[in-house]
Structures are given as structure tokens and as C-alpha cells.
Structure 1
Amino acid sequence: MSFGECTVMLQDVAYQLELLIDGQYVSGCLTNFEWYIKGGRPTWAWFEELLAVIPPPDCIDKFTVKCTWMQQMFSDLPEGVDEETVWRYARAYIMMLLPTQLFSYKSGTRMYIRWLPYVVRLEDMDSYSWGSTALSWLHRCLFRVANKNVVKLAGPLQLLQSWIFWRFSDFRPDGFDAFHWLLASMYAIDY
């Protein structure tokens, strides 16, 4: 191509997804989750403490839970619930959002619960550098898909799509010139 080499950079993440690119790093629990279990408690006991429910055994596989079970349990917040229930639903929503939008895997049917340490204190969520973590995950996924035997791409694909549309106007769909609250949402496709 005439433009040479180029890649998604940290400023693209900040501009297109409006994610924080500085702050506390997101690490540790992503690779060594079992080391970060608070007080040495079993993982699923901690899960139950935070979300007040434990998945049935057929929905659990090591450190993953079926996405369909999470959606069924936490899709609709009942009317007139107490503040603690609202916090539980918020934790569940964020735990579903992170592995399905920013840190997606190819299967899409299961989600890792390694995000538990980050949803314990929801008021601290905005102090983490989610943008740099999402960018590193995207680059890792792009590296993996470069293998000729890999057939599916995972990762923050809305970031990749938005970056492509922003940088290469020839690939941009017609009728998406209006700016919305996120640059990435400008290219959202309604199905």
C-alpha cells in the first residue's frame, strides 16, 4: 500500500474509545488469577460473595462461566431493589462487558472471571489504564491471527474497525459522517 506500515497506537485508543491510557496498570490477574484471590479464598466463593449467586456446575469450567447463564441471571434489574443489589448487577455487567467487548476470546460462549479483582471496588474502575490494556490485547490477538492456522480474530475489534475507518477513508461506509459520543460508535452498524 502507498502509505507504508502503520498500526493502532495508544492515542488512537484514547481518541476512538475514550479509554484512560494512564493510571494504574491492569495486570497480574490476567495470567496468574489464582494468586490474586483475596485472602486465599476459593475463586467461586469470592464470586458468590460479590454477586450473591453461584453458577450451577454445568456452567463452570475452571475459571470460566457460560455467558448465557450470566445474561439470564443479570439481564434485568428488578424494580425497587436495594443499593447492594444494584452494585451486584453493576459488577456482573462490567464482568460481562470486559471479556465480550474489550478482551474478547474466539469462543464467545464463556467468559473468564479473572476480572473479579477489578469489580470489587467499582469506584476504582476509572483509575485503571484500560486503554493501554485493550491496545496490548489487540496487538496480541493480531499477532496470533498472523499464524496461517488461525481462522478467527478476537480482541477489541470495534477499536480495530474504527481505526481502519478513521485512517483509511476508502474503507469507510457511506453515511457515517455524524460524530457521536465515541468515535468508534460513529461506525456502528445496526443489524
Structure 2
Amino acid sequence: MARLYHLARLNDRWFRLDEPLVSAFVEQWRPKTHTFHMPFGECTITLQDVAFQLGLPVDGRYVSGCLTDFQIYIEGGRPAWEIFGECPAGADEETVRRFSRAYIMMLLGTQLFSDKSGNRIHIRWLPYIARLEKMGTYSWGSATLAWLYAVHCTV
């Protein structure tokens, strides 16, 4: 429903992150030209690259806006991982949807829109998770590419 299945499969079993290689690649970023300067020339990451490599939808509604009235998305003020650590066996449909939302929130915050902390997820993604049935209508690939460029241009 969320159209993030391919992203969910990019975990330690199928995808290993070579941190030194990523760091070396990031060092080649040039903010003035928005390109990576490599020994063979300049290159950039395109929307087609994001769609192909991450399997994210690039057509659909844009991901934008800010979160207001966030108190409607919080249950009891407990940390999310305390609430959603493991889906109980025999859970009803609503419980499974809650655990799915928590898992997708983790995917968004750690694989698509991560920050330097590596352990925090921005609250701006909550409205999208709250409407699970509409998640597949967004252009997550476009949002990911925009985030990548925004993060690199502020470094």
C-alpha cells in the first residue's frame, strides 16, 4: 500500500553500506555545481537513479509541508520503540497498521531522510504515516532526491 517494499528489502541481509566508500564519495561533492567531482569527470544523482536503485515511486503527489497539531499523533507520550518494538502474535488489523506505521517511519527516518545523529526521526513525516492508505500516492523518489541535495548543500 505504501509502495516502499523495495526500500524495506534494503537491509543488512541484502544491502551492506560501505561507510568509508560513502565518506570518500561525499568528500567529492561540490556545492557550487551540485555535482560529485570524480577522477573520470563530474557526475550527479538523478531522479532516474533514485527510482531504479531504491525502487521508489517518482510520480504522484509532492511531499511537502510542516507538522502542526502534532499532539493528535502521540499516544500517551511514550517513546515509539517502546510501543512498537514487536508486533504481537494474533494482532488485529488496527494493531498491525500501527506497527506498520512505526516500521515505515523508521524506514523514512533512517534510510531516506536521515540526519547525522543516525538515531532520530524528524516529526515532519508523521502526517504521511498517519494516512497509511495515501502513502503510495506520493513521489517519495523526488522527496529523497531533494533531501539529498538539501543536506549536501548545507554541509
Q: TM-score, normalized by length of structure 1?
A: 0.57
Tell me, yes or no, if the aligned pair for 2:73 and 2:130 is still in contact at 8 Å.
no
C-alpha RMSD of matched pairs (Å): 1.6
Query: Which of 66, 70, 74 is the matching residue for 1:43?
Result: 70
Q: After the TM superposition, which residues 7-26 of structure 1 pair with which residues of structure 2 at under 5 Å, given as runs?
A: 7-26=44-63
| Separation (CA, whole Å) in 2 of partners of 1:43 and 1:14 | 31
Among residues 72, 85, 88, which one is paired with 1:75 in the alignment? 85
1:45-72 alpha-carbon deviations (Å, 9 max, x no partner):
x113xxxx3324xxxxxxxxxxxx3223
Aligned amino acid, residue 106 of structure 1: K
User: Residues 47 and 141 of structure 2 are in contact (CA less than 8 Å); yes or no, is this contact kept in structure 1?
Assistant: yes
2:148 alignment partner, one of 138, 142, 145: 138
Name which of 29, 41, 45 aligns with 1:4. Answer: 41
Instruction: Give the drift of 1:19.
Output: 0.5
TM-score w.r.t. the length of structure 2 is 0.69
Deviation of the 1:119 alpha carbon: 1.6
Structure whose alpha-carbon radius of gyration is higher:
1
Letter in 2 for 1:143: C
The CA deviation string for residues 136-168 of structure 1, in whole angstroms up to 9 with x for no partner, is 1111112123xxxxxxxxxxxxxxxxxxxxxxx
Q: Which amino acid aligns with 1:94?
A: I
Give the match for residue 117 of structure 2. Answer: 107
Equivalence for 2:76? 54
Count of equivalent residues? 118
**Structure 2 unmatched runs, 5+:** 1-37
Letter in structure 2 aligned against 1:16 = Q
8 Å CA contact retained: 1:47, 1:54: no
**Residue aligned with 2:141, SS:** helix
> Moved runs in structure 1, 4+ residues, more than 4 A?
none
Per the alignment, do residues 106 and 2 of structure 1 end up closer, same or farther by CA in structure 2, a change over 3 Å counting? closer
Is the contact between residue 70 and residue 96 of structure 1 (CA under 8 Å) also seen in structure 2? no
**Whole-angstrom distance in 2 between the partners of 1:4 and 1:54:** 53
* Paired residue secondary structure (1:110): coil
Instruction: Tell me the equivalent position of 1:87.
Output: 97
Structure number with the bigger relative contact order (C-alpha 8 A, sep ≥ 6) is 2
| Identical-residue share of aligned pairs (%) | 56
Gaps of 5+ in 1: 35-41, 57-68, 146-191
